[in-house]
Amino acid sequence: MTTYDAGDVTLEKVREYVWEIPQEGEMNVPARVLASEALLEEISEDKTLEQLTNTTHLPGIQKYAICMPDGHQGYGFPVGGVAGIDAEDGCISPGAVGYDINCLPGSTDVRLSFGRKMPIESVRDRFERERATVAGDSLTSSDIRLFTESGTKQVYEVQTATGETIEATADHPFATPDGMVELGDLEAGDEALVQPFQGIEHDDPEEFTVLSVDDLEDANPQIRSVLKNRGLLPLKSTDEAFNRLLKLVGFHLGDGSLGGEGQLWFYGEPEDLEGIREDVKAIGFKPSKVYSRDRDHDIEGETFETTEYSFKTTSKALRLTLQKLGVPDGPKVAAGFSTPWYLDRLADWQKALFYSAYFGAEMNAPAAQHDMNLYCPKVSQTRTVDTAGDGRRFLADLASFLGDLGIETNEIESFETDSNREHDTVRLRLGVKNDSANLIRFFETVGYRYNRHKRRLAVKAIQYLKLKEREIERREHIANEVRTLADGGTPVETLKEKYDINDRFIERSAWSGRKGRPRPGDAFPTFDEFCEQTTVSDDMTVESTIEHIEPAGEKAVYDIGVAHDAHNFLADGFVVSNCGVRMLKTNLTDSDVSGREEELVDALFDAIPSGLGGGGIFEGTKGDIDEILADGMEWALRNDYAVPADLEHCEDEGRRPDADPSAVSQKAKNRGKVQVGSLGSGNHFLEVQRVTDIFREDVAGEFGLEADQIVVLIHCGSRGLGHQVCTDYLREIEKAHQGLLNQLPDKELAAAPAGSHLAEEYYGAMCAAINFAWVNRQLIMHRTREVFADVFDREWEAMEMDLLYDVAHNIAKKEVHDVDGEDRELYVHRKGATRAFPAGRPELPPAYSDVGQPIIIPGSMGAGSYVLRGGERSLEETFGSTAHGAGRLMSRTQAKNTYWGEDVQDDLREQQHIYVKAQSGATVAEEAPGVYKDVDEVVNVSDALGIGDKVARTFPVCNIKG
């Protein structure tokens, strides 16, 4: 075979394993793919070749753009891509170093904490202080750790049978009853999980003091001290604690009471009370456990028993706070309370916190009035004759709030009641009008809090009313068509055959006309029947059938990542989802570890932080982070996390002198501060391995490797700090160098011209992120040494736990290379590729200057990994680079749909004696062995081309993943 046809691209075979896309049009150089025919077939299945061709348009690119045998589609630049770009006349591109794919148009509403929503584009400048709503075991909120954005992508509109609509890219994952599935793998008729509550548009509240020290001047000084210590005095309208207090006050006005000195009591179902208890704890107070007691009732001669559940707080400070915020002191019937004074100054979403908690306590649940029609949701209050005016004002303010949201209410009703022992009383009542559109608006935007039963029924009511409305619209459309056709002379019998609807409906539409809108047909379920057939999950999601998926043009797209293990968030009502390597040697053998694998993997998993979000081995100050960014491994040595030999066996001796901590944003530093010494998530891992094969005895001897030896592979990067650096500069480069961007075929290749201020700043920030990544892996190695010492009861030095090498994977470095017989300084971009310098290259540490650079290529959990050394032809062929791993065959979503994490763990343990532990089964499924290319073939190509020579092969013993 001398050519390979890959659709729109034809590759020409230069020699064995080298394929070229010839230079044509506006390409500055040809593109080359280094692969066997089998790997080339896999590489050509996604957009890798298109992205590689686009890369050749970058100004100053030299010789050719290169794709390694592990290549696959990335962001703008393929993963496994290498490009040498002139450092004087060329450019530097963040997309060619590493960045994430994005998925949702900017107008997509993301659900945030406290019942708010916001277009995802608006989340950009505030994501680090926001919490997104996540569908986990229950509906909860989670910190947003990542925000990504890009240029335009093709998006598709999804609409369900109940009217939910969203736009997303084809690779965006959607929650379904069968797990997360990419949009491109869904079709009409499939089920998606939706969460119909929409919430209220976020609006920054006016800042004012709700509770001041002066308001409590008569209070016990200890109470003031308690409130100050908890950040509740002064209490401002913009405080998060105030939002929680709004809910507590609203609920207590319905189902709360005051007890003995300092006591506040809350009544409800146990699962609802747990939510209230969480809010009490979040503002700094201790709730009691949930109590239960049986109570006897006698209503009009009918006796029955119920179980009452409640909890209390005994803090005088909390009780006084709630009283100052509107909880009446004494029986509510005579207390004369009305709307709290501050409520009319709040944002609508804050008012909704107060009222929805009140509705959770006081409003009746959605219920059928007659078959297909629902009752008006109502609230009522019993007041003394003297305080009835206050009650009317409370309900009038409530009606005004709902009216501002477009929700209509009935007139306030008043009923005489039997007077109680002390007072003459009246009953006041307010209801929400029960036409379908009005009820949908109410349930979608306000609804109920602290009452899961009512919330579930509200979800069902929303879906039922939307289905009912769509059925009415369908019948209305048919009726209009029938009337028009009948007037035009079409026989009624013909019309009966044309439409899938009963004959009587056709006759009435054609002959007698119709007053008003039609009703749903007899086959349409009643609300009670619909409720019996519909299941609402604990996270308040429900299945909805996809009606259509259609192209919606190209739009700028965005994405966020959350810290919650569920890795999803709510967008437009749908549930949607959410480096480098070093090797540590030991003098242990496989027999030393055999039988202790489970103990070892458990100890490593417990000791080394992993997963998305914060939490590391070390949490430093701003000064510490600046030192880490500037000094890299030298900081680790000064702080007793490293020994001198660690620096001597690390790329660049663990420090990039071009690092500029001042070029790293405070956002990036804040994210890095809590992540020093953590694995992260995705394909990052720590794996204990045994050496199974030695291919070059002499080189293996120089590396200190031998058969049956135990080694440890650590694969992770610069965590959220590095991601933020890329995000920050990609935005700035897109704005500042729009002219260059317009010349490129893909906006994801946004680049800063060499010599420009942004190019220098980005390079300094990226080098600082590299220093951070080295320290991150060093701390993990330090903790690994401690774990081995504990498990095997000997010092790590006695086990000769020495660093073999540490090499970066996603990087652009200034290096001097021969181009057409002339030495030129280049920005060598390696995205998902690794440096592979042969012996004699001056950048190598002295320990390897005569043998060549160690190269570490991780495989999948079930296939093993390789140690190579820099090949003699690497400088000529690939700017001194080779592959960095096996390369993905499946997206993470495809993997989770194909594999079940627990099954993968069981199979690896039972069939290959590999012990795997991870934060979740989904993580294991995403990294299943079948997800990756054949690492043996990837390495064989590298070895055959002389860019990376095989030295040793390893096989997993145990593995921990993020």
Active site (catalytic) residues: 884
Query: What count of other Cβ atoms lies within 10 Å of the Cβ of residue 487?
Result: 9
Q: Which residues contact 526 (CB under 8 A, 6 or more apart)?
A: 368, 371, 372
- Closest among 956, 951, 954, 932 to 69, alpha carbons compared: 932
DSSP 409: B
Is residue 333 packed enough to be buried (19+ CB in 10 Å), middle (13-18) or exposed (0-12)?
A: middle
CA dist list (Å): 504 to 501, 511, 512, 520, 604: 9, 10, 11, 13, 72
Tell me the torsion sign for CA atoms 729, 733, 734, 736. Answer: positive
Q: Catalogue the E-assigned strands of 503-573.
A: 542-562, 569-571
Question: Is residue 886 part of an annotated ligand binding site?
Answer: yes
DSSP for 491-503 reads: -HHHHHHHSSS-H
Please say whether the beta carbons of 584 and 711 come within 8 A: yes
- Closest among 17, 10, 14, 13 to 2, alpha carbons compared: 13
Cα angle 301, 257, 236; round to 5:
150
Tell me the torsion sign for CA atoms 531, 532, 537, 542. Answer: negative
- Closest among 808, 813, 831 to 79, alpha carbons compared: 831
Task: Report helix, strand or coil for 816.
Answer: strand
Please say whether the beta carbons of 763 and 658 come within 8 A: yes
Question: Is residue 757 part of an annotated ligand binding site?
Answer: no
Question: Is residue 860 part of an annotated ligand binding site?
Answer: yes
Could you tell me where the DSSP H helices lie in 502-643?
503-507, 527-533, 590-593, 597-607, 622-631, 633-638
Question: Is residue 329 part of an annotated ligand binding site?
Answer: no
Question: Is residue 610 part of an annotated ligand binding site?
Answer: no
Question: Is residue 102 part of an annotated ligand binding site?
Answer: no
- Closest among 551, 539, 538, 534 to 162, alpha carbons compared: 534
Query: What count of other Cβ atoms lies within 10 Å of the Cβ of residue 943?
Result: 18
Question: Is residue 887 part of an annotated ligand binding site?
Answer: yes
Please say whether the beta carbons of 884 and 834 come within 8 A: yes
Cα angle 634, 635, 641; round to 5:
95
Question: Is residue 809 part of an annotated ligand binding site?
Answer: yes
Task: Report helix, strand or coil for 269.
Answer: coil
Question: Is residue 687 part of an annotated ligand binding site?
Answer: yes
Question: Is residue 789 part of an annotated ligand binding site?
Answer: no
Question: Is residue 715 part of an annotated ligand binding site?
Answer: yes
Question: Is residue 356 part of an annotated ligand binding site?
Answer: no
Residue 894 Cα to chain centre, angstroms: 17
Tell me the torsion sign for CA atoms 358, 361, 362, 366. Answer: positive
DSSP for 96-147 reads: GT------EETTPEEEEGGGEEEEHHHHTTTGGG-EEEEESSSEEEEEEEEE
Cα angle 354, 359, 365; round to 5:
160
Q: Which residues contact 569 (CB under 8 A, 6 or more apart)?
A: 110, 111, 132, 133, 134, 142, 560, 562, 575, 576, 578
Phi, psi dihedrals of residue 585, rounded to the nearest 5°: -90, 160
Question: Is residue 861 part of an annotated ligand binding site?
Answer: yes
Using omega within 30 degrees of 0 as the cis cutoff, is the peptide bond preceding 119 cis?
Answer: no
Question: Is residue 161 part of an annotated ligand binding site?
Answer: no
CA quadruple 174, 177, 181, 187: dihedral, nearest 10:
-90
* Residues 526, 397: Cα–Cα separation, whole Å: 34
Compute the residue count for the chain: 962
Question: Is residue 471 part of an annotated ligand binding site?
Answer: no
CA dist list (Å): 347 to 125, 352, 745, 928: 20, 9, 44, 48
Single-letter residue type at 517 = R
Binding residues for Mn(2+) are 100, 684, 715, 809
In the annotated binding site for GMP, the residues are: 683-687, 809-810, 858-861, 865, 884-887, 961
* Residues of each annotated binding site: 100, 683-687, 715, 809-810, 858-861, 865, 884-887, 961
